[in-house]
Every structure is written in structure tokens, then in C-alpha cells.
């Protein structure tokens, strides 16, 4: 009787464990998020901030103003450039933001998102079981994915648009939170228990069944049962 009950629980545990570890199911769940406007806007904001932190727009404008103030430049030109500091700065920032938005809203981003999540599926499992050592991390009750590859695409487009200084942007690791909540810690604990149960309960059920058959007065009946 005990072996039968354990076998039933083992089937349920293994089934649930296999669903959580099913890469195709995971990708099918998160892939549509790439076309969600709120997700696209959030990724755009995060990547734009990361790019602007590494492209010193204010410094570029200052260099232009200093060059205009040098000797030999007509005073009117120097004054005009000085008055355009604000618009030039805003224009460069708009260029970066628009470029990021184009990358994020393009079909290429959906492909990148899907492939990245497929590669990261095992890392998500590790993150939720507290063994993360990859691009997916679990900290502060949040699961974060590195969107650094998107920055690389933005860098290429900025250079193609004429902003040569963007070529100096180094490879960056930019975290984008995909799941956050106070129950993440509980989920982590439950998944760890499920992982242990799914791995060991079938073995325990078989051992109990074998012991039951071995200790039975009528072993043939016990085995059939």
C-alpha cells in the first residue's frame, strides 16, 4: 500500500518536474513577450540608459562648443553653436533612443529574444534553484536576464547612422528583470523540493515495493499486487 501511494506521488512529481524543465514549453510561454508593447518599452528604456552611460553626449557637445570658441571661428558661429547646446544634446539622445526602439521593435529582436530564452532555460532552472552561474540571476526576489546582446546591435546601428563614437562602447552586461515578486523566494524553495522529490521519490517507491515483496508471506501475490 505504501509503495502504491509513493508510486502515485512519484508520477505526479516527475510529471510536474518535467513540465518545468521543458524548454519548448518555456520558450512558448515567454516568446510572445517580445512583441508586447510594455515589454518593448521597458527594454528600450533600459538599453537606452545603458548606451547613454557609455556615450558621453554632454562631453561631445562640449567639445563642439570648445572648437567653436577657438580663434579663427566667426563670433556669430560660436554664439550660434553655444545656443544650440541643448537641442544638439537632445538630438543625440533622441537618436540613441530611436535607434534602440527600432532594434527592439524589429522582427530581429523577436528572434534574439526567443533564442536567448531558449539558451537561458537551463540557467533559469539554476537561478530558481539557487545555483545560477550564468546570464540569468536570482537576487532581491527577482529573475534578471542579461540584454547586453541588444546593446551590441544598437552600437552597430549607431555607427552606421554616423555616430562613430558609438564604436567605443564596450561589451556590457545589462540586467533586465523578467520576474519580480515577494513570492520568488517561496517559488525557489518549492522548486527545490520538487526537484528532490522528482529525482528520488521514484527510487524510494521502487525500494519500498521491493521490500514489501521480499517481506510478504506470499511474495507472488505481493508482486502481482
Q: What is the mean pLDDT of each run of 10 residues along the chain (225 residues)?
A: 87 81 82 86 83 67 56 51 54 79 82 76 64 56 70 78 67 70 69 80 91 89 84
Provide the terminal-to-terminal Cα distance of the chain, rounded to the nearest Å: 9
**pLDDT tens-place string over residues 17-46:** 777 777 788 888 888 888 888 888 888 888
pLDDT value for 166: 67
Q: The whole model's pTM is what?
A: 0.56
Phi, psi of 139 (to 5 degrees): -155, 150
**How many other β-carbons are positioned within 10 Å of the β-carbon of residue 41?**
13
Predicted pLDDT of residue 66: 56
Q: Are 48 and 72 in contact (CB under 8 A)?
A: no
> Distance of CA 40 to CAs 34, 37, 43, 83, 137, Å?
7, 5, 5, 35, 21
Kindly give the residue spans of alpha helices, DSSP state H, lying in 105-147: 107-128
Nearest-angstrom CA–CA distance, 201 and 179: 30
Whole-number Å distance between alpha carbons of 46 and 66? 31
User: How does pLDDT run across 78-114, given as a tens digit for each residue?
Assistant: 454 454 455 666 677 778 788 888 888 888 788 877 8
- Please return the burial class of 138, using the count of CB atoms within 10 Å of its CB with bins 0-12, 13-18 and 19+: buried
Instruction: Quote the CA–CA distance of 91 and 117 in Å, as a whole number.
Output: 34
Amino acid at each position: 500500500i505504501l509503495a502504491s501511494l509513493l508510486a502515485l506521488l512519484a508520477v505526479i512529481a516527475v510529471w510536474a518536474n518535467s513540465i518545468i524543465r521543458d524548454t519548448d514549453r518555456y520558450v512558448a510561454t515567454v516568446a510572445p513577450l517580445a512583441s508586447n508593447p510594455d515589454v518593448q518599452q521597458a527594454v528600450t528604456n533600459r538599453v537606452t540608459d545603458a548606451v547613454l552611460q557609455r556615450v558621453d553626449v554632454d562631453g561631445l557637445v562640449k567639445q563642439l562648443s570648445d572648437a567653436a570658441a577657438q580663434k579663427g571661428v566667426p563670433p556669430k558661429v560660436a554664439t550660434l553653436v553655444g545656443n544650440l547646446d541643448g537641442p544638439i544634446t537632445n538630438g543625440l539622445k533622441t537618436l540613441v533612443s530611436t535607434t534602440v526602439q527600432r532594434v527592439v521593435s524589429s522582427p530581429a529582436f523577436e528572434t534574439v529574444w526567443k533564442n536567448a530564452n531558449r539558451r537561458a532555460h537551463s540557467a533559469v532552472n539554476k537561478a530558481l534553484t539557487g545555483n545560477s552561474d550564468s546570464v540569468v540571476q536570482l537576487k532581491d526576489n527577482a529573475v534578471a536576464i542579461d540584454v547586453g546582446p541588444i546593446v551590441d546591435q544598437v552600437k552597430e546601428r549607431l555607427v552606421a547612422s554616423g555616430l562613430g563614437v558609438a564604436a567605443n562602447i564596450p561589451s556590457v552586461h545589462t540586467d533586465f528583470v523578467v520576474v519580480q515578486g515577494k513570492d520568488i523566494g517561496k517559488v525557489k524553495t518549492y522548486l527545490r523540493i520538487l526537484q528532490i522529490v522528482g529525482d528520488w521519490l521514484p527510487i524510494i517507491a521502487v525500494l519500498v515495493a521491493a521490500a514489501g515483496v521480499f517481506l510478504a508471506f506470499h511474495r507472488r501475490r505481493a508482486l502481482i499486487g
